[in-house]
Homo-oligomer: A and B are copies of this chain.
Amino acid sequence: MNHMSAEAASAPLALALNCTNCPWRAMCLPAGLAGAALEAFSLVVGARRTVLRNERLHAAGAPFGSLYAVLCGEFKTQCAAPAGGMQLTGVVMTGELLGLDAIASGRYESEAVALSDSMVCVIPYAALAALMARQPVLALRFHALFSAESARRQRHALLLGKARAPQRLALLLLDLSARYAARGRSGTAFHLSMSREDIAAYTCLTVESISRLLSRFKQTGVLDVSNRDIVLSDPAALHALAKLPP
């Protein structure tokens, strides 16, 4: 397990960090806020919390109290599938929110597990709700994130329903690629924080299928993969694979 810089840096940074100087502000919950509003929001954020790889941020069914914004690292959200295994419902990256689905029932619907050593900002929901009542701009932003989450789920449902195995994998890779690119990292060469099993659970395929597909993609020159390091050599071909008609 490679302990990345985040953890070492967390101790000194924890006190200094606030939303005002956070590099991910533009894509996080307080996006669009400035001045006093931003500082008020910053006060709502109670604490930062470190979560090591494979550790759980919150369990499924645990009582809901806070939302979490990912400061660094990556999480998977999953819930027990009736069939027995774990169904992966999403991959959550820097600047994104965790726990939105807990508001209705008052309990976390899924559990969140760190795919790499991570840090999150803890956002107590009660305090957030109170602030939103005074900051309509923040409420709008919150609704937008909610809506985006809903749309993401819908895309996932569509992927699972309509797409064949090669398309499912291609769509996942392209999704990851775009999100890494949006965060200033390479969209064509990255490290998979998900295991083959995780990928299988997300696409609802078997590990064997994932392995076969990656080999096939590699052999046809669409990408190059070695363990968890992946290079999208031919993004256009991957986009073509992601189209449903074939």
Write out the residue numbers on chain B whose beta carbons fall within 8 Å of the beta carbon of A89: 154, 157-158
Q: Known contacts A81-B162, A89-B157, A154-B153: does B139 contact A102 (CB below 8 Å)?
A: no
Q: Does residue A100 face the partner (Cβ distance < 8 Å to B)? A: yes
The answer on a CB contact under 8 Å between B150 and A100 is yes
A interface, over-half SS = helix
Write out the residue numbers on chain B whose beta carbons fall within 8 Å of the beta carbon of A100: 147, 150
Flag A129-170 by CB within 8 Å of B: 1 or 0 each: 110111010011001111111110110111011100000000
The answer on a CB contact under 8 Å between A139 and B129 is yes
The answer on a CB contact under 8 Å between B136 and A245 is no
Write out the residue numbers on chain B whose beta carbons fall within 8 Å of the beta carbon of A244: 81-84
Q: Does residue A2 face the partner (Cβ distance < 8 Å to B)? A: no
**A58–B144 CA distance with the chains assembled, in angstroms:** 19
Flag A41-61 by CB within 8 Å of B: 1 or 0 each: 000000000000000000000
Closest 6 CB pairs of A and B: A161-B204, A104-B147, A83-B244, A153-B153, A160-B161, A157-B157
**A244–B110 CA distance with the chains assembled, in angstroms:** 19
Flag A95-115 by CB within 8 Å of B: 1 or 0 each: 000001111110001100000
The answer on a CB contact under 8 Å between B146 and A150 is yes
**A144–B101 CA distance with the chains assembled, in angstroms:** 9
**A162–B156 CA distance with the chains assembled, in angstroms:** 13
The answer on a CB contact under 8 Å between A154 and B82 is no
**A84–B81 CA distance with the chains assembled, in angstroms:** 30
Q: Does residue A243 face the partner (Cβ distance < 8 Å to B)? A: yes
Smallest distance from the beta carbon of A4 to chain B beta carbons, Å? 30
Q: Known contacts A89-B154, A129-B139, A153-B157: does B162 contact A83 (CB below 8 Å)?
A: yes
Return the contact of A103 from the options B79, B110, B144, B157 (Cβ within 8 A). Answer: B144
Write out the residue numbers on chain B whose beta carbons fall within 8 Å of the beta carbon of A83: 162, 244-245
The answer on a CB contact under 8 Å between A145 and B104 is yes
The answer on a CB contact under 8 Å between A104 and B148 is yes
**A104–B245 CA distance with the chains assembled, in angstroms:** 28
Q: Does residue A87 face the partner (Cβ distance < 8 Å to B)? A: yes
Q: Known contacts A82-B244, A104-B145, A245-B84: does B160 contact A109 (CB below 8 Å)?
A: no
